[in-house]
Structure 1
Amino acid sequence: MKILAVSTSVHRYATSGIRTGMWLGEFTHFYDVLTEAGHEVDLASVAGGVVPIDPVSLKTPVIQMGGTNKRYEDPEFMSLLDDTPAIANVDLDAYDGIFLNGGHGTMYDFDSADLSRAVAHFADAGKVVSAVCHGPCGLLGVTLADGTSLLSGLKVTGYSWAEEKLAMRADEVPFSLEDKLKAEAGEYSTATVPMTKHVVVDGTLVTGQNPMSASGVGEAVVEQLER
Structure 2
Amino acid sequence: MAPKVIVVLTSYGHIEASNKPTGWYLPELAHPYDVLSSKGVEIVVASPAGGAAPLDPASVEAFKSDASSTAFLESKKAVWENTQKISSFHGKSGDYAALFYPGGHGPMFDLPRDADSIALIKEFVAAGKPVAAVCHGPAAFTGVTLDSGKHLLAGKEVTGFTNVEEDQAKMSEFMPFMLEDRMKAVGGDFKKAAEPWAEFVLVQDGGKFITGQNPASAKAVGEAIAKSIGV
Instruction: Quickly name the TM-score band, shorter chain normalised.
Output: over 0.9
Kindly indicate whether the alpha-carbon contact (under 8 Å) linking 1:151 and 1:184 is maintained by their aligned counterparts in 2: yes
Aligned to 1:38: 40
Aligned length: 224
Kept in 1: contact 2:34–2:68 (CA 8 A)? no
3-state DSSP of counterpart to 1:141: coil
- Map of 1:31-110 to 2, 5 A cutoff? 31-61=33-63, 68-74=69-75, 77-90=76-89, 91-110=92-111
- Matching of residues 1-227 of structure 1 within 5 Å: 1-61=3-63, 68-74=69-75, 77-90=76-89, 91-110=92-111, 111-203=113-205, 204-226=208-230
Amino acid at match of 2:216: M
Give the 3 Å change call, closer, same or farther, for CA 99–59 of structure 1 in structure 2: same
Alpha carbons of 1:62 and 1:182: their partners in 2 closer, same or farther (altered >3 Å)? farther
- Aligned partners of 2:148 and 2:189: how far apart in 1? 21
SS of equivalent to 2:84: coil
**C-alpha offsets along residues 81-119 of structure 1, whole Å, 9 cap, x if unaligned?**
112111011243321110011010111100201100100
- CA 150–213 in structure 1, closer or farther in 2 if over 3 Å, else same: same
State the superposition RMSD in angstroms.
Answer: 1.7
Distance in 1 between residues matched to 2:225 and 2:147, nearest whole Å:
23
- Give 2:102's aligned amino acid: N
Alignment deviations for residues 30-56 of structure 1 (CA, whole Å, 9 cap, x no partner): 111111122111111111111101011
Answer whether contact 2:125 2:131 (CA < 8 A) is retained. yes
Q: 1:2 to 1:88 in 2, by over 3 A?
A: same
CA distance in 1, matches of 2:45, 2:8: 6
Read off the aligned partner of 1:122 and give its amino acid letter.
F
Deviates more, 1:121-130 or 1:10-19: 10-19
Looking at structure 2, the residues matched to 172 and 112 of structure 1 have their Cα atoms a distance apart, in angstroms, of 20
Q: d(CA) in 2 for partners of 1:101 and 1:197?
A: 15
After TM superposition, the structure 1 stretch with the greater mean CA deviation from structure 2, 87-96 or 19-28, is: 87-96
In the TM superposition, residue 147 of structure 1 has moved relative to its aligned partner by 2.5
Give the TM-score, by structure 1 length: 0.94
Whether contact under 8 Å (2:7, 2:100) holds in the other structure is yes
Deviation at 1:62, TM superposition (A): 6.2
* Deviation of the 1:8 alpha carbon: 0.3
1:115-134 CA-partner distances (Å, limit 9, x unpaired)? 00100110111110000000
Look up the SS of the partner of 2:174 in the other structure: coil
| Bigger Cα displacement from structure 2, 156-165 vs 31-40 | 31-40
Could you tell me which runs of 5 or more consecutive residues in structure 1 were left unpaired when the two chains were aligned: none
Give the fraction of aligned pairs with identical amino acids, expressed as a percent: 38
What's the TM-score once normalised by structure 2's chain length? 0.92
Write the letter of the residue equivalent to 1:208: G
1:171 aligned counterpart, secondary structure: helix
